Structure 1
Amino acid sequence: MKLAFLVNDVDTEIDEYTTTRLARAAARRGHETWYLGVGDLEFGSSDGLFAGRARAARWKDDDTLASFMEGIKARDAERIVLDELDVLVLRNESIDDLQERPWASPMGVVFGQMLAARGVTVVNDPNTLHRATSKLYLEEFPERVRPRSLVTRSPEAIQQFVDEVGHSVVKPLYGAKGRNVFMIEGPEETNLAQMTEAVLQDGYAIVQEFIDGAKDGDVRLFLLDGRILERDGRPAAFRRVPTGNDPRANISAGGRSVPLELGANELGIVEAMGAKLRADGMFLVGIDVIGDKVVEINPESPGGFQSVERLYGIDIADTVVEALEHRVNAGA
């Protein structure tokens, strides 16, 4: 295959990222593998083709993840024709660009849609991805797997929700990595106005009922085509445990990952969500579970493969690349 990974900016990529592990798996399997940033695309030349200034990702037998990424960044960018790709993997995080580079935020989806229309396999499906990136996407799934919630820009409506529901969590509708996520103890929360103000600076807020068990962290599950991602019979799932008094279990917020054995609760959630995720073209997603509720769907550049690799000694990136091979060979 000839495949490319679209990221925010190649120079800011980190060797421990899940994207690096996916690129490593592709390169080790002998595929022509490229990296390019959202600002490296071009369209409208005389030949009418999509092009990009991309850097080759080549794996050497003595490479580590660090040296692999160093090699990618050190290579000169080459002009490649994106119409000739078999696969474009969208690994840019539009939320990260929303503040500093608003022009870049939608471009992964926009260019992805155009390339998909030209016959390139693009994952996740760019025609659904923009909708799926919003936390509103969770509301499209059965009520039994999601907490009671409200999406609003009204501080008064948030206060009313808290008055009715009590213990809650408020966060940006478009957000990631635990930024501006606040715990609301109940109707008498003295800092609710300040919390609400901070969240509303990012646009719409979503306030959710607090789910029992959150003090124990959350569960990250990886789904591939609507099924649990696994390797050698080992499911890609782990628990993220908060540290200290910080209620956020995100690894980026200081949480730590511990092993998890899947139970009936997690399997039931996958059963309830899998068919829709598959139908929506959500090839690879991470879902976050607290208790018996899904609190987050991560369809855009889901991370955490490093935790699976460290906890279980398996490389689940190989399973993902194998699935892409099957898609291309089947002409999907």
Structure 2
Amino acid sequence: MKLLFVADALASFKTYKDTTFAMMREAAARGHALYACEPRDLHWQRGGCVTARARGIELTGDAQDWYRAAPVAPLALKDADAVLMRKDPPFDSEYFHATHLLEQAEREGARVFNKPRALRDHPEKLAILEFPQFIGPTLVTREPAEIRRFHAEQRDIILKPLEGMGGMGIFRVREDELNLGSIIETLNDHGAHTVMAQRYLPEIVHGDKRVLLIAGEPVPYSLARIPQGSEVRGNLAAGGKGVAQPLSARDREIATALGPVLAARGLLLVGLDVIGDSLTEINVTSPTCFQEIMQQTGFDVAGMFVDALEAALRAA
């Protein structure tokens, strides 16, 4: 099969931990042909179809010089067997525009994973609002006074922007309210930006667990991303330590409830974030942690993913 990965620049990949690389490696081992482009390489013109300036790539097995690339050539997305949208957040206007080009490619016959409409319909911070039975006390607002009221009620909260990734822009405000006004001004900009506030969950000391769903089924291990030192964030990008562990009963309850719902909407791969017993985010753009789980447990997450991708394509 011919697989096109729409991703960040290949030169930016950290192959020792990159999930997209793990997908590529597994697909190549099965004999699938790999192609890659960035969202900027997508274009459409009336009378034609959505096309990418893409490169065919071969994996070398070398940790540093890890791929050989053919010259750039046009590839109609409908001529690929599958298009995998793996561009990292933020979900900005350019990402939004890319999903519309990918949706047009679907109308022309392309198979895109995750489904572009589903990417737009599940913003990673806000998607949890659909499942209030699994989340802790949460507020979404542009009104600074509402944030102050929520803090007075909960006394220890996390504030986060809706567009961030990797723990970027996350603040904890304890009962003393230290810097609450300044933090609100920074994130909210006097009512210009919507902010999410959540009650601080002390279980974060045991990790912010990434629970992976593939075709609606949970990977049997999560990666608990444990904050280090005085850091409140467990994100690996913020210095958290990743520890693989079997899913808890609560993890499975959440995964079993959400998995079929999200898969039916065209989300082949989802990353749920769970702290203690509470769902905190639903990640759909480019969920990660394949390699960390594989390295620590031996469970072949990439193999499970490519199995699911192949099955989805056979069922088409």
TM-score normalized with structure 1 length: 0.88
Structure 1 residue 93 displacement after superposition: 2.5
Q: Which residue of 167, 178, 200 maps to 2:188? A: 200
Specify the alignment match of 2:138 in structure 1. Answer: 149
Specify the alignment match of 1:232 in structure 2. Answer: none
Q: Which residue of 162, 187, 207 maps to 1:217? A: 207
1-side partners of 2:65 and 2:247: how far apart? 35
Identity of aligned residues (%): 30
Cα 1:310–1:198 change in 2 (3 A) is: farther
2-side partners of 1:169 and 1:140: how far apart? 20
Corresponding letter in the other structure for 1:216: H
Aligned pair 1:276/2:261, yes or no?
A: yes
Specify the alignment match of 1:55 in structure 2. Answer: 55
> Which 5+ residue runs of structure 2 have no aligned equivalent?
none
Q: Which residue of 317, 320, 332 maps to 2:302? A: 317
Structure 1 residue 86 displacement after superposition: 1.4
| Superposition misfits of 4+ residues, deviation over 6 angstroms | none
Specify the alignment match of 1:81 in structure 2. Answer: 76
Corresponding letter in the other structure for 2:177: E
2-side partners of 1:238 and 1:12: how far apart? 23
Cα 1:133–1:65 change in 2 (3 A) is: farther
Aligned pair 1:122/2:112, yes or no?
A: yes
Partner of 2:177, secondary structure, is coil
2-side partners of 1:275 and 1:329: how far apart? 19
> Which 5+ residue runs of structure 1 have no aligned equivalent?
230-234
Counting only pairs closer than 5 Å after superposition, residues 62-141 of structure 1 correspond to structure 2 as 63-69=61-67, 71-72=68-69, 75-95=70-90, 98=92, 102=93, 104-141=94-131
Specify the alignment match of 1:285 in structure 2. Answer: 270
| TM-superposition CA deviations, 1:166-225 (whole Å, max 9, x none) | 211110112110001011112x31211122222225931100112231222211111012
Cα 1:278–1:208 change in 2 (3 A) is: same
Partner of 1:21, secondary structure, is helix
Cα 1:228–1:19 change in 2 (3 A) is: same
Q: How many residues are treated as equivalent by the alignment?
A: 313
Aligned pair 1:2/2:2, yes or no?
A: yes
Cα 1:318–1:67 change in 2 (3 A) is: farther
Partner of 1:22, secondary structure, is helix
Cα 1:107–1:28 change in 2 (3 A) is: farther
1-side partners of 2:231 and 2:261: how far apart? 33
| TM-superposition CA deviations, 1:212-266 (whole Å, max 9, x none) | 312222111110122113xxxxx24221111100010000000011131222111
Structure 1 residue 94 displacement after superposition: 4.0
2-side partners of 1:319 and 1:274: how far apart? 15
2-side partners of 1:310 and 1:270: how far apart? 22
| TM-superposition CA deviations, 1:127-151 (whole Å, max 9, x none) | 121121241111011x221112111
Structure 1 residue 24 displacement after superposition: 1.3
Counting only pairs closer than 5 Å after superposition, residues 139-288 of structure 1 correspond to structure 2 as 139-141=129-131, 143-186=132-175, 188-200=176-188, 203-229=193-219, 235-288=220-273
2-side partners of 1:43 and 1:300: how far apart? 22
2:269 touches 2:284 (CA, 8 Å); kept in 1?
yes
Specify the alignment match of 2:18 in structure 1. Answer: 17
Specify the alignment match of 1:36 in structure 2. Answer: 37
TM-score normalized with structure 2 length: 0.93
